[in-house]
Structure 1
Amino acid sequence: MKHIVALQNLVTPWPDGLEPSDVELDAIEQELPLILARVDLLDAQIMTIDRTPSEVDERRIRRARNRVLVARRDLANRTAGSTGSGDAA
């Protein structure tokens, strides 16, 4: 059996700068609770795409929405507290 191999260099070489920086990784880590809450909400909504939501489904979606709101609030409070340089009004 004959193997087919690329004998030429890649057309678009992999640049070294594609890895996320430490600052970007820290930002992702701070947003992770919100990302996970949104994934949970999406999972709850996907479960009811092809059927009428039951009372349990509605409760699951409502709780997932509340978790998203809490995560958004916490993230906003965290970022507002870290960027503010003055006293509270």
Structure 2
Amino acid sequence: MNHIVTVQDAVIAFDPDIEPTDAELDAIVREEPLILAEQELLDVQIALLDRPVTRLGQRRLRRAANKVLAARAEVANRTSAVRAGEAA
């Protein structure tokens, strides 16, 4: 006869009160400019969804996309510099 048991230990093993580590918080801080740039791009895209695209709208979209690219490059360069510093 097979007994039905709960998976209580597996559920309790994950503690929802666990705080992020310092390394995880540092990674979030490093990526914050990228997150904000992506949010701005998304805001512009949402604003342009239900309107005909004007020259101003195209400019806003292009500027937001360029800001995302610049932030991605900055984060990538900063990450590679951190890794190079750790290796030294």
Q: Hey, what does 1:40 align to over in structure 2?
A: 40
The runs of 4+ residues in structure 1 deviating greater than 6 Å are none
Q: Hey, what does 2:49 align to over in structure 1?
A: 49
Structure 1: gaps spanning 5 or more residues:
1-11
Percent identical across equivalent pairs?
47
Q: Hey, what does 2:71 align to over in structure 1?
A: 71
Q: Hey, what does 1:31 align to over in structure 2?
A: 31
Q: What is the letter of the counterpart of residue 18 of structure 1?
A: I
- When the two structures are aligned, how many residues end up with a matched partner? 75
Q: Hey, what does 2:18 align to over in structure 1?
A: 18
Rounded to whole Å, the distance in 1 between the matches of 2:36 and 2:52 is: 25
Q: Hey, what does 1:58 align to over in structure 2?
A: 58
Cα deviation, 1:27-52, whole Å, max 9, x if unaligned, reads 00000000000000000000011121
Q: Hey, what does 1:7 align to over in structure 2?
A: none
Cα RMSD after superposing both structures: 1.8
Q: What is the letter of the counterpart of residue 31 of structure 2?
A: E
Q: Report the alpha carbon displacement of residue 69 of structure 1 after superposing the two structures with TM.
A: 0.5
Rounded to whole Å, the distance in 2 between the matches of 1:18 and 1:41 is: 32
Higher helix share: 2
The TM-score with structure 2 as length reference comes to 0.76
SS of alignment partner, residue 24 of structure 1: helix
